[in-house]
Amino acid sequence: MRITLHIWRQRNASDKGRMVRYELPNVSEHMSFLEMLDVLNEDLITKDEDPVAFDHDCREGICGMCGCMVNGVAHGPLPETTLCQLHMRHFKDGDELYLEPWRAKAFPVVKDLVVDRTAFDRIIAAGGFISVATGSAPDGNAVLVPKDNAERSMDAAACIGCGACVAMCPNASASLFVSAKIAHLGLLPQGQPERERRVTAMVAQANQEIFGSCTNMGECEAVCPKGIKLENIALMNRHFLGANWAGREGIEAD
């Protein structure tokens, strides 16, 4: 089938950038979206032109590396699907697709469809861990975890940090990502000792990275390839308010 691509081309962070049109006359419906871009790049290289830069790694929907806006929707039109798992059979012959990078101040464009998402790494470094004494692994049944908490924690842990939530939010908020990382650890017994420090540190780092505030519109949940729920944001807010209230009480008590 014939597909027309309008791709954002930007040589570097300081370049103004522009949309460039490409015609692909022989796209197989069995190709993944990234394989289709591979075919385009092979053709561009053959013509001595600069290939389109785009992020990718595992191509199995696990690593969170891939992602761009397809006709204004993060990861494309298929719900709970990463760009690398999106196949061309979900498009029609003659379709025109507009590809743009994530648009957020905290995600500066590196080149073409590639953005710098190291802001997420700094948020994780601020508190997305559990400090434990080293030694042999504890028995698996030594710490009992309520079934509901275990399931909610594992659902939150499914977040792959792709950044689609930020790209779709009108305020470029990272609330869904941050809340998923906080809920993943905060719902487990092992994460309780550092719960208050974790939530305040990660929220503070997110604010420092110039992510916007949550809009409560739900666009983040709608495009999340792993189906992370908005309820995690409510849990994060509750933990954050509790941590700050506990801090005030501690100051007043002193």
CA distances from 157 to 56, 92, 184, 204, 229 (A): 21, 35, 5, 21, 11
Q: Which residue type, as a one-letter code, is found at position 69?
A: M
Regarding whether 133 and 74 lie in a shared domain, the answer is no
- Mention every residue, 6+ apart, whose C-beta is less than 8 A from residue 90: 76, 77, 78
For residue 125, the enclosing domain spans: 117-253
Alpha helices (H) in the chain, listed in sequence order: 33-46, 118-127, 147-157, 164-168, 175-186, 195-208, 219-223, 231-253
The residue from 110, 139, 165 where one domain ends is 110
Regarding whether 37 and 147 lie in a shared domain, the answer is no
pTM confidence score:
0.92
Regarding whether 141 and 79 lie in a shared domain, the answer is no
Which pair of structure tokens corresponds to residue 91? 């498009």
Do 173 and 213 contact (CB within 8 A), yes or no?
Answer: yes
Tens digits of pLDDT across the chain (254 residues): 999 999 999 999 999 999 999 999 999 999 999 999 999 999 999 999 999 999 999 999 999 999 999 999 999 999 999 999 999 999 999 999 999 999 999 999 999 999 999 999 999 999 998 887 767 777 767 888 999 999 999 999 999 999 999 999 999 999 999 999 999 999 999 888 899 999 999 999 999 999 999 988 999 999 999 999 999 999 999 999 999 886 654 433 33
